[in-house]
Chains A and B, each alone.
Chain A
């Protein structure tokens, strides 16, 4: 396996992992702000 292929493999893994984390973080943030909006509406 060439070093390019190894590098690409790890890069793709990194993107997938980061994507998952950021998507769940975004969802959590979305949930948090939705909840705050309804709790603090006046």
Chain B
């Protein structure tokens, strides 16, 4: 395999793109040892052939123009510039979701990894979100399978490599949304955080996957009138409540779960960039006697209100307004970075107890589904001490993966016990740590 290959282009011929609204935050928060990175993996039914995978990557990368980029520093903002260097696949031996070396010259903002039957792609959150990442992974797998002789149609989110990128794929959809004017940001107070010191090594993390039957969990959720996400969110809230009761602190805090929402379901766009918002269902003190059923009812009623398009737009509006304010735009990049880091340190980390990201049902053409056993999504560790989860369903296989950088994370074990008590059958796999 070639070590490197470049297609030299003059600066004037290299495309460049402004970062999207959410994407602007991640480089500012990034350090040499930590980036906001997430991974989506697919377990194929046969071992990955590296040479063929590299050929598939070579074919797919030019189609995803905003992902085939490097991050450059401007005077006022970071920006993406077409990366002249070829993205080389790597054997999956490194720590999952390790920081990317984007500060290096022509450093890519994603990596493609393989190990046995598992194909993984890790993305820097500045270039895309879960839904955009899924389009890339599906298109890559489709091309890989085509090179092996399987015919895969371009449907279910697989892009046609012969077509040119359309403008909506590259857009920051937040800028086009019908956002209300003069909306003030609602600042939620501090939330309960699970106990546990942050591991000392920046590479240390524990990644545990819980495999369940999606239909079994859905049935359980349906029996108490909830969706799968609402049910699992309620389970995490209950664990948070129980842990806080055990600790019995002088001042009890709300337990709050951040649930990302794919805004493409609300606003029609083909954007491959960040297009997610989040809602934060919570239970607040005084708690009273809480059960999974009562919390689920609370989450359900919260979600019903929060997921109304006007409420989602009202949440996004202050962020877009600040990005577009002349004062902030004219502030030099180091000042912006300082402000973003301070605000994140003061509020961002403390505002939520944990995260639960549901990427939904993995859909692909039948010929491709036959070659895939399961798909998995792994969140990178948080900057401060914390534990977060992400899930995805392939057929009836629901895989929920916890990532933690805490010495002894409380949440995954307690969550597993709770679901077992609820009568769900779970198997556990440890990916790392």
Question: Residues on A close to B: CB < 8 A?
Answer: 27, 30-31, 34-35, 38-42
Query: How many Å lie between the Cα of A10 and that of B340 in the bound state?
Result: 63
Neighbouring A residues of B329 by C-beta, 8 Å: 42
Question: Residues on B close to A: CB < 8 A?
Answer: 10-12, 16, 18, 72, 74-77, 79, 81, 329-330
Given A41-B18, A41-B79, A34 and B74 contact (CB-CB distance below 8 Å): no
Neighbouring A residues of B76 by C-beta, 8 Å: 40-42
In whole Å, how far is B372's beta carbon from the nearest beta carbon of chain A? 39
Query: How many Å lie between the Cα of A40 and that of B72 in the bound state?
Result: 12
In whole Å, how far is A38's beta carbon from the nearest beta carbon of chain B? 5
Neighbouring A residues of B16 by C-beta, 8 Å: 38
- Would you mind naming 25 contact pairs between A and B with Cβ atoms under 8 Å apart? A27-B10, A27-B12, A30-B12, A31-B11, A31-B12, A35-B11, A38-B16, A38-B72, A38-B74, A38-B79, A38-B81, A39-B72, A39-B74, A39-B75, A40-B74, A40-B75, A40-B76, A41-B18, A41-B76, A41-B77, A42-B75, A42-B76, A42-B77, A42-B329, A42-B330
A-B interface pairs (CB < 8 A), number: 30
Neighbouring A residues of B18 by C-beta, 8 Å: 41
Query: How many Å lie between the Cα of A24 and that of B198 in the bound state?
Result: 55
Neighbouring A residues of B12 by C-beta, 8 Å: 27, 30-31, 34
Neighbouring B residues of A39 by C-beta, 8 Å: 72, 74-75
The residue on A at minimum CB distance from B10 is: A31
Query: How many Å lie between the Cα of A35 and that of B73 in the bound state?
Result: 11
Query: How many Å lie between the Cα of A41 and that of B76 in the bound state?
Result: 7
Query: How many Å lie between the Cα of A30 and that of B330 in the bound state?
Result: 25
In whole Å, how far is B185's beta carbon from the nearest beta carbon of chain A? 22
In whole Å, how far is A31's beta carbon from the nearest beta carbon of chain B? 5
In whole Å, how far is A4's beta carbon from the nearest beta carbon of chain B? 40
Query: How many Å lie between the Cα of A42 and that of B329 in the bound state?
Result: 5
In whole Å, how far is B342's beta carbon from the nearest beta carbon of chain A? 21
In whole Å, how far is A5's beta carbon from the nearest beta carbon of chain B? 39
Neighbouring B residues of A38 by C-beta, 8 Å: 16, 72, 74, 79, 81
In whole Å, how far is A11's beta carbon from the nearest beta carbon of chain B? 31
Neighbouring B residues of A41 by C-beta, 8 Å: 18, 74, 76-77, 79
Query: How many Å lie between the Cα of A26 and that of B72 in the bound state?
Result: 24
The residue on A at minimum CB distance from B328 is: A42
Query: How many Å lie between the Cα of A41 and that of B330 in the bound state?
Result: 10
In whole Å, how far is A25's beta carbon from the nearest beta carbon of chain B? 13
